[in-house]
Amino acid sequence: MLDHQKDVSSEWETYIPELSMATLAAAMSDTSRMKILCALMDGRAWTATELCSVADIAPSTTSAHLSRLLKANLITCLSQGRHRYFRLYSSHIASFLENMMGVSFHTTHPSRKKVPQELLKARTCYDHLAGEIAVQIYDFLSKNQWITDDGNNLTKSGREGFTQLGIHFDEKVKRKKCCACLDWSERKFHLGGHAGAMLFEFFETNNWIQRVTGYREVIITKQGHRALRKYFSLETE
C-alpha cells in the first residue's frame, strides 16, 4: 500500500505546471504553426498539403511543424486509407486559441477597420458560431432565459425552444451541454459547448449560413437573415 502511494506521489511530482506551460508556449511560438492552428479553427480536418498552402511554407517544413503540434497534443491526426487529415485536438484547444486571439487583439490595439468585416460579422469558432451575430444570439438566449445566468446550462425554456426549432440533443454526449465562450472581437459571450455545435449544424443544414472554403468567415444567406429575424429577433442586414 505504501509503495503504491509512493508511486502515485512520484507521478504527481513529475508534473510541473510552469514547465508544462512553457513547453506548450514553445510549441506555439512560431508564426507558421499559429497559421496552421488558426486554419484548423474552422472545425474541419485538413490535409498536410492544404495546411502547407495556408501557412505558405514548404512541405518538409509543414511536416516538421505538424509533428511539433502533434507532440504537444494541440492537434490530432486522422487516417483514412492512405490519406492523413489533421484537426485540433479538442474543443478545449479551440477555446484556448479563441481566448488567445482576444488577448492579442486587445493588447496590440489594432484598428477594427483592418480586420475583415466578414470575419467580425460571423465566423467559425471550431464547431460553433462566433462574431457579432453569435453574440447577438447569445444575448437573445440569455434575455429570454433559454440558458442559465452563467451560460453553462440550458433551462427548461431553452430545451423547449431548441426542440421547437427542430434541434434534439443526444443525452449520451459527454461534452458540456453548453458554455459561455468569450468572443475575441466582441469581448462578449457567444454560445459554445454541445448546444453551440448543434445550433451551428442546424444553421448550416437549413442553409441559414454558408462556410467560406479555406477560411473561418461564415456567410449569412438571405434565408438565414429572415430566419434569424424571425426566431432570434436579430436585425442582421
CA-CA distance, 115 to 225, in Å (whole number)?
23
The DSSP secondary-structure symbol of 119 reads H
Note whether 79 and 110 are same-domain residues: no
Residues 219-223: what's their mean pLDDT? 95
In this prediction the pTM is: 0.72
Q: Is residue 237 part of a domain?
A: no
Q: What pLDDT does 3 receive? A: 45
Residue 37 near residue 54 (C-beta atoms within 8 A): no
Record the cell numbers describing residue 196, joined without a space: 453551440
For the chain, the residue count is 237
Last residue of a domain, one of 67, 89, 111: 89
The DSSP secondary-structure symbol of 221 reads P
Q: What are the pLDDT digits (tens) for 18-56?
A: 888 898 999 999 999 999 998 898 888 899 999 998 889
- Full domain range(s) for residue 8: 2-89
Place of cell 510541473: 16
What's the total number of domains in the chain? 2
Note whether 45 and 65 are same-domain residues: yes
Note whether 101 and 78 are same-domain residues: no
Give the model's confidence band at 110: pLDDT under 50 very low, under 70 low, under 90 confident, else very high: low
Q: Which amino acid is at 11?
A: E
Output the domain CATH number for residue 85: 1.10.10.10
